[in-house]
């Protein structure tokens, strides 16, 4: 077993990364391939814009509901929910396995038998999560770059990169929640449940907050709001909305370090 926890974790995750990459490529290719058949179909956009406000709040990305352009189509079909959901599932699974999964499988003691401190173990597991999401975000970007060019979508590579990076950063936050809960409890299922519930609540707060004025403060606190409000497909990344996601993820990893260092291991 390698002494470097990061190397060992990435080696063990190799197959999962390959499977997730293939799935993302197929998903992106399938959805983008539909666009040429609806390009310039103004009636479809009018139909969608006639939907109830509650439904449009769930499918819009950056507040825009537009099927007539490549950017609008990608926002609705991929970046409003599909790609964030895929990367969040991958991140939460990896985060839950990072500490709690190792503990439940009785492999954590083997890791700690090496000259590795608890805080270093958590940090290297967190870095492994970052590497996983960087790789998957690159897969998203590459798949989009090729498929959108083939479909004739007028989307710049810079904006595709910005949207892919924003999706990966959003997923990192929920992966960090899973690491923190797993480090504090030693229970993988609990880590998955808490992170999944947090993601679902944030998504609902972002969507419903645009419809119910009483929920507006919750909406602005939602990570999904920070992720989508500037519409990175159109405007790129902004420091004001990416920083809160990164800082929150870093704070959660710090919580994981403290909780894991103080807890008696099973």
Q: Which residue has the higher pLDDT, 171 or 44?
A: 171
Tell me the pLDDT tens digit for each residue of 216-259: 788 889 999 999 888 898 888 888 889 999 999 999 999 999 99
Mean pLDDT for all residues in the chain: 89
What pLDDT sits at residue 216? 79
Beta carbons of 168 and 137 less than 8 angstroms apart: yes
Count other C-beta atoms under 10 Å from residue 231's C-beta: 21
Q: How far apart are CA 73 and CA 58, in angstroms?
A: 14
Q: How much of the chain is helix, strand and coil, in % rounded to 5?
A: 80, 0, 20
Domains identified in the chain, total number: 1
Q: Considering only CA atoms, which of 56, 70, 91, 65 is closest in space to residue 192?
A: 91
Q: How confident is the model at residue 145 (pLDDT cuts 50, 70, 90)?
A: very high
Beta carbons of 230 and 241 less than 8 angstroms apart: yes
Beta carbons of 167 and 84 less than 8 angstroms apart: yes
Beta carbons of 57 and 216 less than 8 angstroms apart: no
Dihedral sign from CA coordinates of 244, 222, 175, 77: negative
What pLDDT sits at residue 219? 84
- pTM of the shown model: 0.91
Q: How confident is the model at residue 78 (pLDDT cuts 50, 70, 90)?
A: very high
What pLDDT sits at residue 62? 60
Q: How confident is the model at residue 2 (pLDDT cuts 50, 70, 90)?
A: very low
pLDDT (average), residues 131-157: 95
Look at residue 114 and tell me whether its pLDDT is greater than 60: yes
Look at residue 121 and tell me whether its pLDDT is greater than 80: yes
Beta carbons of 44 and 59 less than 8 angstroms apart: no
Q: How far apart are CA 170 and CA 26, in angstroms?
A: 22
Domain that holds residue 250: 5-262
């Amino acid at each position: 077993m390698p002494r470097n926890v990061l190397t060992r974790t990435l080696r063990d995750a190799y197959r999962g990364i390959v499977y997730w990459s293939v799935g993302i490529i197929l998903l992106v290719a399938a959805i983008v391939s539909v666009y040429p058949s609806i390009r310039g179909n103004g009636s479809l956009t009018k139909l969608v814009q006639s939907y109830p406000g509650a439904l449009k709040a769930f499918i819009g990305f950056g507040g825009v509901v537009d099927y007539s352009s490549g950017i609008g189509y990608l926002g609705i079909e991929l970046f409003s929910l599909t790609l964030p959901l895929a990367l969040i599932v991958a991140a939460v699974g990896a985060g839950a396995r990072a500490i709690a999964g190792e503990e439940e499988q009785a492999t954590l003691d083997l890791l700690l038998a090496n000259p590795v401190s608890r805080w270093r173990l958590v940090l290297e597991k967190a870095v492994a999560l970052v590497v996983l999401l960087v790789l998957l975000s690159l897969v998203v970007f590459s798949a989009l770059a090729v498929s959108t060019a083939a479909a004739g979508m007028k989307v710049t590579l810079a904006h595709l990169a910005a949207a892919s990076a924003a999706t990966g950063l959003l997923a990192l936050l929920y992966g960090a929640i899973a690491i923190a809960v797993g480090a504090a409890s030693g229970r993988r299922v609990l880590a998955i449940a808490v992170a999944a519930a947090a993601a679902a609540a944030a998504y609902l707060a972002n969507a419903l907050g645009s419809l119910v004025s009483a929920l507006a403060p919750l909406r602005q606190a939602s990570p999904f709001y920070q992720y989508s409000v500037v519409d990175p497909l159109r405007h790129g990344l902004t420091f004001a909305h990416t920083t809160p996601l990164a800082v929150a993820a870093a704070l959660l990893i710090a919580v994981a370090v403290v909780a894991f260092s103080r807890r008696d291991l099973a």
